[in-house]
Every structure is written in structure tokens, then in C-alpha cells.
Amino acid sequence: MKIGGTFISSLDFPGRISLVISTGGCPLRCPYCHNPELIDGGEEISIPEVLKKIEDALEFIDGLVITGGEPLMQLREIEELFYYAKSHGLETKLDTNGCYPERLKKILNLVDYVGIDVKSPFDKYEKIIGSDIGYNVEKSLEVVLNSDSTFLECKTTYVPGLISFEDIKQISREIECDLYTIQQFRNRVVLDPELENTPSPSPQELRKMAENIKPVLKKVKIKTAEFGEEII
């Protein structure tokens, strides 16, 4: 399978020390992508080698996170990794862009926590990221919501000039989830060079947005470089 790397983290899976595996490959070309090196692939590595990385970390972790890129492009491989993780008592988390609801449905029984990027209101995906996948993302949310045992986090990166406050409010009315996170845009690594001069929104601006939509979604979090993660 193609991976971009592995590392141990206490931040990527709330309440867990996890081994994080970044997979290579993504069907999208979001202009603000912060992992553009993973879009067209990564290092080719055998499944036994990846399983060995999990095995070597078992003493130190209680969770496995598979992120991307887009992990569901390699469905068979991540299914095998999650199965191995569950058989060794690990909690599991999948980060996905929501492109593949049918593939997500096939492995949901192996996943405890799903993080789905909701990049824009469903009807504005093509305008904002250049890919008309809003329907797929909506269906992916439904897949997870139909599982009583899987926690669902929705995440939106707020990019000034690309996404508006009104878009955030529209998203809050369109989704249902256990936690909604507004993430701060950072211009250090982006796919579109035109965004390199776009300033990061302030924590105060994100807090104001979160406070505005909290009555709709109840549990809202912001994530910034200055203060980390804050439940509003």
C-alpha cells in the first residue's frame, strides 16, 4: 500500500495515544490542502511491514488512526489494518473526505471514530474546491449516523476569502454530528500558491463563529495554532 508516514500522537484521537498512519493518494485537489505531497501517492510499503509498525507500537498505544490523503482509496488495505488493530484491543479512527460512502459502509463495523471533512455547504463543493462531491459527503454522514457505536466528528477548515461565515452557518444547518470542529487555515503549506498570502483567521474570529452556531450543533470545537483545541 502507499503511505506517507507514521507517527505516535496524543492529539489525533481524543483521549487516546495512537499510532497515526497517513495514506498516499487523494482524488481531490483542494486549493488549501496542507498535505499536497500525498495527493499523488507516497511510499510503497507491504501490508506485513505496516502491520509490523502497529505491532511494534502496541506497548505504547491504545488507538490506531488512519488518515490521508484519502484512506478509502485503499479500502482492502485499511480494512486489514483496522481488523488487526481491533484484534489487538485498539480503538480505531478513520479520517476521510467523504468521497466514498459505499466504501465507508463496508468497514464501519471496524471503526470507532470517524472524522469527515465537510469542506463547504453541500451545494458549493464544486465552486470552493473544484469537485462536485457534496452529495457523496452527505451520504457518508448518513452512513456514520446510522451506526449507534461510531462517533462522528465533522471538520471544516475556515479559509478567508474562500469560505465565508455564511457558509459556516449553512454547514451547521445541513449536518448532524457528535462534534463539529472549525479549523484555522494555515498558509505555510498549500496546494494553490495564490493562498500563500492569505492570512490565518484569528482565534477570536473562530470563537465568534463557533458561539454563533453552537445553539444549532450543541458541541462545537475550534482548533488553532495559538491555543490548540478549545471546546466552545
Q: What is the mean pLDDT of residues 60-84?
A: 97
Any idea which architecture 2-231 has in CATH?
Alpha-Beta Barrel (3.20)
- Residue 42 predicted with pLDDT over 90: no
Above 90 in pLDDT, residue 41? no
With H, G, I as helix, E, B as strand and everything else as coil, classify residue 102: helix
- Predicted TM-score of the model (pTM): 0.96
Instruction: Give the Cα separation of 228 and 222 in Å (integer).
Output: 8
Q: Hey, what amino acid is at 167?
A: D
Domain boundaries, the chain: 2-231
What burial class does residue 35 get, using C-beta atoms within 10 Å of its C-beta: 0-12 exposed, 13-18 middle, 19+ buried?
Answer: middle
**How do residues 148-194 score in pLDDT, each as one tens digit?**
899 999 999 999 999 999 999 999 999 999 999 999 999 998 999 99
